[in-house]
Amino acid sequence: MYARMDVPRVSLRRLYAATSALTAEHASEDELLDRIVRGAALLTRSPYAAVGLIDENGALSRFVTTGLAPDEYARLKDHPPTGRGVLGALLHEGRPLRLDDIGTDPRSVGFPEGHPVMRAFLGLPLHLDGAVIGRLYVATSTSGSYDAQDEHLAMGYAAAASVAIGNARLAAKLNERTASANLTAGQLRAILDAMERGVSMTNHDGAIVIANERLSELLGLTGSPVGLSEVELATRFRTPETLLSVLGLERNQPRLTLIDELRLADSDRILSRHGTAVVASDGELLGRLAVYSDVSQQREVQDQLVAVERLRATGEMASGLAHDFNNLLATILGRVEVMLGQQPDAALADNLLAIQRAARDGAATVGRLREYGRPLDAIGFRPVSLGEIARQAIELTQPRWRDQAQREGRTIAIGLRIEPTLPVLGDPSSLRDVLVNLIFNAVDAMPNGGTLSIQLAPAGAGAELTVRDTGVGMPLALQRRAFEPFFTTKGDKGSGLGLAMARKVVTSIGGRIDVASLPGEGTTFTLWFPTTDAPDAVEPESVDGAMPSRSARIVLVDDQLDVLDTAAMLLRADGHDPRAFTDPRAAIASIGDDPPDLVISDLGMPGMSGWELARIIHRRHPALPVVFLTGWGREISAAQMREGSVSAVIPKPIDGGALRRAVAAALPKVDRPLRILLIDDSAAFAAVLALLLRQAGHDVRHVETGGAAIEIISAEQFDLLLLDSGLPDRPASDVLAAAAGLTARPTTCVVSGSAVADMMSATPGADLYVEKVRVPDRLDEIVHHARVSARA
């Protein structure tokens, strides 16, 4: 203990001023230490003062001085006193040390070389929280001394300095923690906003206190959900009572963890939520953390995979059943067709036609069901003109949209607009079926008549085909399910596989199909296809317009006797000579060295399959065509047919037309002459071209003006129009427009002295464009294109 001492008031004022300076705001601990040594020097009227702080190991960590000359400061900066001698005594003894002449004290050691000369010395330990954290000392250089009053003043000042140092350290830690907290909060916000999942944190009252931007996007909110309660949040979903039940709000006993899926009320979005309750150690609910993920696409893909797998399994089952089922239908349909060919009376004919329709509908349903579960045969894809597909689909469906509609007292107008596009790579038959199905749907959707518009135009790296009707339209709920297999609004009249199969066909070639509709305003289907720069491929030749050159000898093989007899009856009705066998080995033996014109065989037979029969026949008679007649016909790919040396496949049940076409395709044909109209005011060119065409056996007419051409094609039917792009009386496009409106539309070829690109720009809508100088070289190609179109 130190004796109480009366300190003059003026000295107390100096102490107050010095300690007050220590409580002022400062930027750093270094600034505070500088204030401490300056204040100590002023308080004790000393020329020199120093403060040194030590770390937890007792080593000097900070050393600040005042009163040094620049050279003295430079020497001490890198070599401060280490804390031995009198300085060490301050630390170890923890009490003040006052010396009149430090040089006479035996502890006057440990000062580095260059340390300023000191005479009188007054040193004080700095205490904080019961520990010595450093020392503060002042000194005179040559004369003067310190008395007890100076020591008491310095002790009070040292105590204040220690408190100031402690406060500065606390403030620094607080600032560091605040900065760290701010950084952590900012990082957390950045992390949350960068997440692809929505995140929310609620307090114990159920109010959202933290939420990221993604949660607002998922919920369709324009602002932040912070401040909303879980009850308010529940109204965003279709079944809020389920959400509240899961949360347990009605019992105030929320689950510790929950995993559920929620559907938004105003969209198809499905959110998966993983939540956990934040509970204190005493069991009190502090809040709830929830993470939301958009799983809409995942669920859609999963649903599609489940549907495809279900249909694939169903297809496999149907494939086996279809073989037997189609054999039964083959007998029914074949016998019905034979009876219809015998010209029965009207009543019997109506009954036979009803049986035929029912059997065909049953076969088609089984076929669609079986096909939906299997991938399309991409090996058989080839470049296809969508414009031709559209024209053919309209012509094929004409009995439905024109004839039947008129009988029912409604009128349906058809609009077709075709812009030149590159071909698409696909299967013509499947693409045609897609468009036919869309046309039928449109006709059904216009019970009071209306307009059906079909438009084809380039679109990006592909072609866009739109089918638009002015019918009753569909609400959003039906649009969402339009492409689901087995979903139909037609009751017993629909199988629910048409649009599902359409989407499969379109997506199998890399395209997409979308639907847009409003109740009462009609429906639009938009199909986009990637195009190819390969030239349009010619479809397999149809038998329309071609006839067998003679009656054919045909070996017929099937283990089902009813099917065998029915097929033989149909072939005899067409003038052929069939020889029927139930045993494939007997059929092969009958061929010998005198092969027939054609072999028609079932695929699945006991003892020998159709594939094996085809291989044996091909090995012995390579030129003898083999055709399969089978209930598995739609499952055989083009690649399998090529590898198995099979010319064609006729699916069961037997269709007389399909059988007739397959036979005609396998036998030599005689093509009928084409009817060709030349429209050109250049008499010399027209004369030469007509001569070439007539030498090939075609029927050629020639007119010089567009008006004459329009008049003649309105009265007569032609297979091919060859017209100059520059007619004397009217644009060639008028002739093309007139031709496009014909029921039996001819092939159109524009010829000119201009480049093809210029012709296409000036006269769009033709099937072919050929420079006049190249017409003789490309004449066979033009005629072939026209013949194929005429047969289609």
DSSP class per residue in 547-592: EESS--EEEEE-S-HHHHHHHHHHHHHTT-EEEEESSHHHHHHHHT
pLDDT of amino acid 365: 58
Instruction: Give yes or no for a cis peptide into 653 (omega within 30° of 0).
Output: yes
pLDDT of amino acid 546: 42
Say if residues 718 and 746 touch (Cβ distance below 8 Å).
yes
Helix, strand or coil, per DSSP, at residue 73: helix
d(CA 166, CA 22): 12
Q: Which residues contact 86 (CB under 8 A, 6 or more apart)?
A: 97, 99, 102, 105, 107, 108, 121, 123
Confidence grade of residue 181 (pLDDT, cut at 50, 70, 90): low
| Amino acid letter, 109 | V
Residue 444, by phi and psi: left (phi above 0), alpha (psi -120 to 50) or beta? alpha
Q: Which residues contact 539 (CB under 8 A, 6 or more apart)?
A: 384, 428, 788, 792
Helix, strand or coil, per DSSP, at residue 379: helix
Integer CA distances (angstroms), 519 to 341, 478, 524, in order: 47, 10, 12
pLDDT of amino acid 494: 56
Over 90: is that where the pLDDT of 211 sits?
Answer: no
The Cβ of residue 682 has, within 10 Å, a number of other Cβ atoms equal to 16
d(CA 105, CA 85): 9
Say if residues 681 and 727 touch (Cβ distance below 8 Å).
yes
pLDDT of amino acid 656: 75
Q: Which span out of 28-37, 223-232, 341-350, 370-379 was modeled with the highest average pLDDT?
A: 28-37
257 burial via Cβ count (<10 Å: 0-12, 13-18, 19+): exposed
Position with higher pLDDT, 540 vs 649: 649
Least confident of 42-56, 370-384, 589-603, 718-732: 370-384
Name which of 93, 120, 116, 95 is nearest 105 in CA terms. Answer: 120
Span 774-791, mean pLDDT?
Answer: 82
Whole-angstrom Cα Rg for the chain: 49
The pTM assigned to this predicted structure is 0.38
Q: Which helix (H) or strand (E) holds 278?
A: strand 270-279
Span 278-301, mean pLDDT?
Answer: 75
At 776, list the tokens: 């003789």
Say if residues 136 and 164 touch (Cβ distance below 8 Å).
no
Q: For the stretch 335-370, what's the b/e string if a residue is b when 16 or more beta carbons lie within 10 angstroms of its beta carbon?
A: bbbbbeeeeeeeeeeeebeeebeebbebbeebbbbb
pLDDT of amino acid 247: 52
Least confident of 113-122, 224-233, 525-534, 659-668: 224-233
The DSSP bridge pattern shows strands 121-128 and 131-139 to be antiparallel
d(CA 481, CA 485): 9
d(CA 204, CA 286): 5
Say if residues 498 and 492 touch (Cβ distance below 8 Å).
no
Helix, strand or coil, per DSSP, at residue 423: coil
Say if residues 564 and 580 touch (Cβ distance below 8 Å).
yes
Over 50: is that where the pLDDT of 246 sits?
Answer: no
Span 460-486, mean pLDDT?
Answer: 86
Confidence grade of residue 175 (pLDDT, cut at 50, 70, 90): confident
pLDDT of amino acid 585: 92
pLDDT of amino acid 25: 66
Q: Which residues contact 143 (CB under 8 A, 6 or more apart)?
A: 119
pLDDT of amino acid 330: 64
Over 80: is that where the pLDDT of 443 sits?
Answer: yes
pLDDT of amino acid 635: 64
Span 734-750, mean pLDDT?
Answer: 91
d(CA 552, CA 665): 12
| Amino acid letter, 251 | R
Position with higher pLDDT, 155 vs 342: 155
What is the average pLDDT score of the chain?
Answer: 79
Least confident of 570-574, 652-656, 667-671, 755-759: 667-671
CA torsion 432→435→436→442, rounded to 10°? Answer: 180
The Cβ of residue 523 has, within 10 Å, a number of other Cβ atoms equal to 25
d(CA 126, CA 94): 8
The Cβ of residue 419 has, within 10 Å, a number of other Cβ atoms equal to 13
Position with higher pLDDT, 537 vs 718: 718
Q: Which span out of 224-228, 379-383, 393-397 was modeled with the highest average pLDDT?
A: 393-397
Integer CA distances (angstroms), 487 to 360, 492, 496, in order: 21, 12, 5
* Cα 697-700-703 angle, rounded to 5 deg: 165
Over 50: is that where the pLDDT of 670 sits?
Answer: yes
Name which of 631, 626, 632 is nearest 555 in CA terms. Answer: 626
d(CA 197, CA 292): 6
Name which of 443, 444, 447, 439 is nearest 525 in CA terms. Answer: 439
Position with higher pLDDT, 310 vs 522: 522
The Cβ of residue 493 has, within 10 Å, a number of other Cβ atoms equal to 9
d(CA 131, CA 126): 8
pLDDT of amino acid 663: 85
Integer CA distances (angstroms), 376 to 135, 604, 730, in order: 91, 22, 47
d(CA 512, CA 528): 5
Which residues are bridge partners to 750 per DSSP? 723, 769
Span 342-351, mean pLDDT?
Answer: 76
d(CA 81, CA 222): 67
Say if residues 398 and 405 touch (Cβ distance below 8 Å).
no
pLDDT of amino acid 299: 72
Give the rounded percent of residues in the chain with a pLDDT score beyond 70.
79
Over 50: is that where the pLDDT of 549 sits?
Answer: no
Q: Which domains does the chain have, with CATH numbers?
A: 9-173 (3.30.450.40), 195-294 (3.30.450.20), 386-530 (3.30.565.10), 546-667 (3.40.50.2300), 672-791 (3.40.50.2300)
pLDDT of amino acid 592: 81
d(CA 500, CA 438): 11
d(CA 49, CA 37): 5
Span 217-246, mean pLDDT?
Answer: 68
Over 60: is that where the pLDDT of 609 sits?
Answer: yes
Q: Which helix (H) or strand (E) holds 157?
A: helix 148-194
The DSSP bridge pattern shows strands 648-651 and 522-530 to be unpaired
pLDDT of amino acid 294: 80
Q: Which span out of 324-333, 471-480, 595-604 was modeled with the highest average pLDDT?
A: 595-604
CA 372 to chain centre: 22
pLDDT of amino acid 644: 79
d(CA 555, CA 327): 19
Least confident of 262-271, 499-508, 525-534, 535-544: 535-544
Over 50: is that where the pLDDT of 4 sits?
Answer: no
pLDDT of amino acid 738: 93
Confidence grade of residue 632 (pLDDT, cut at 50, 70, 90): low
* Cα 11-16-20 angle, rounded to 5 deg: 150
For the segment 50-94, what is each residue's pLDDT rounded down to a tens digit? 898 888 888 888 888 888 878 777 777 777 877 677 788 888 888
pLDDT of amino acid 646: 84
CA torsion 303→309→314→317, rounded to 10°? Answer: -170
At 168, list the tokens: 């500065």
Over 50: is that where the pLDDT of 517 sits?
Answer: yes
Q: For the stretch 156-189, what's the b/e string if a residue is b when 16 or more beta carbons lie within 10 angstroms of its beta carbon?
A: bbbebbbbbbeebeeeeeeeeeeeeeeeeeeeee
At 263, list the tokens: 């559907």
pLDDT of amino acid 143: 78
Q: Which residues contact 397 (CB under 8 A, 6 or more apart)?
A: 436, 439, 440, 443
d(CA 300, CA 546): 49
Over 60: is that where the pLDDT of 536 sits?
Answer: no
Give the rounded percent of residues in the chain with a pLDDT score beyond 90.
17
Which residues are bridge partners to 598 per DSSP? 554
Residue with tokens 């034979």: 338
Confidence grade of residue 507 (pLDDT, cut at 50, 70, 90): confident
Say if residues 599 and 627 touch (Cβ distance below 8 Å).
yes
Position with higher pLDDT, 112 vs 371: 112
Name which of 659, 597, 611 is nearest 330 in CA terms. Answer: 659
For the segment 299-321, what is each residue's pLDDT rounded down to a tens digit? 766 766 666 666 566 556 655 55
pLDDT of amino acid 316: 61
pLDDT of amino acid 378: 54
